[in-house]
Amino acid sequence: GFKMGIVGLPNVGKSTLFNALTRTAAAQAANFPFCTIEPNVGEVSVPDPRLEKLAAIGKSQAILPARMSFVDIAGLVKGASQGEGLGNQFLANIRETDAIAYVLRCFEDPNVIHVANRVDPLADAEVVETELMLADLESLEKRRAGVEKKAKQGDKDAKVTLDLVDRAIAVLREGRSARFVQREAEEEKAFRELQLLTSKPALYVCNVDEASAATGNALSRKVEDYARANDAGVVVISAEIESQLAQLPDEEQAEYLESLGLDQPGLDRLIRAAYELLNLQTYFTVGPKETRAWTIHQGDRAPQAAGVIHTDFERGFIRAQTIAFDDFVALGGEQGAKEAGKARDEGKDYVVRDGDVMLFKFNT
């Protein structure tokens, strides 16, 4: 599955947010730095209002949303990249994630200690990202001599890697994340193998005070501008509100949201933002037993989509009956879509579109 790491300085609201996300008390929140030590992984459903519509039309007994994981990665302090304290475990945990959410404190509260005695989300982001950049630089510098040796012996792959390593080092030394390294499509595989932390997509999560949940505040607006200029995603959320919401029964949630001027839980926006940041998309299967959302990458073709259900589906792929979501809904389901000529037979080169309702034909 896909994993989003949650990082940030101590006391910015990571655990509060993570708890709300998973509705558990597993990661204990407390007004004390360094309180979360173990990495915590929580699986969440990806909210998608299309599922209910499909399930109603298909008279499905169950709805199975797409799933993704969040990992609460505690222990980031200045010097983490030097292997001090929790550093190495922290780096190992973050390496396994597909993208990174930086929780940034955008709330003032004299009762909650800030590790640097100031509320400045952009400075916080810089501290965190600098640590990750230093870790990347160190790993590249360690690696460089070996790669250079192989390249001198004429190894073609090593030449490609060496060139990338040098470009990445140059970008990082300018204080910029490795995701800004300019690269060609054919270098992408070698680049991924460098496993650089700052090459992962970034999402800034502005944790604002309760009163600013619907509107954001001056601090979160600064972060939004910064995110836009730096090819990162951004979400404004109040961890405190989300944690209260998560404890309410479903019926009461809507009322509470309305009283705050919100049209949906911030967590739904956060999960959707993470999903989009990872370049993921959804196709559906609809049947009497269940309506289900399946997660694939943007650009995946029909056999790869089938392979998410079962590897046999990919291996024996013949074709896929495909109905666009809008057609499926407008025409009242599969039968109506077939009669209107909107159920397409797609072959192995078909690039799946977000929302496609699919039925695979395959050899076993």
- Which lies closer to ligand GDP via its Cβ, residue 77 or residue 178? 77
Dig out the tokens for 6 from the structure. 């949650």
Angle at 280 between CA 41 and CA 287, to 5 degrees: 95
DSSP label at residue 246 = H
The interface mask with ligand GDP, positions 175-214, x = CB under 6 A, is --------------------------------x-x-----
CB of 200 to ligand GDP, least distance (A): 20
Q: Please tell me whether residue 13 binds ligand GDP under the rule CB under 6 A.
A: yes
Q: How many residues bind ligand GDP (CB under 6 A)?
A: 21
Around Cβ 307, how many Cβ atoms within 10 Å?
A: 18
Q: Please tell me whether residue 14 binds ligand GDP under the rule CB under 6 A.
A: yes
Please tell me whether 236 is known to bind a ligand.
no
Residues 101-120 that bind ligand GDP (CB under 6 A): 107, 109, 112
CA 85 to CA 249: how far, in whole Å? 40
86-107 CB burial, b ≥16 within 10 A, e <16? bbebbbebbeebbbbbbbbbbb
**DSSP bridge partners of 63:** 291
Instruction: Give the one residue of 10, 58, 303, 333 binding ligand GDP; rule: CB under 6 A.
Output: 10
Instruction: Give the one residue of 5, 15, 81, 101 binding ligand GDP; rule: CB under 6 A.
Output: 15
DSSP SS3 for 206: strand
The interface mask with ligand GDP, positions 208-247, x = CB under 6 A, is -x----------------------------xxx-------
Please tell me whether 16 is known to bind a ligand.
yes
Dig out the tokens for 125 from the structure. 């982001």
Angle at 70 between CA 68 and CA 74, to 5 degrees: 165
Residues that bind ligand GDP (CB under 6 A): 8, 10-16, 29-31, 35-36, 107, 109, 112, 207, 209, 238-240
Which residues are part of a known binding site for ATP? 11-16
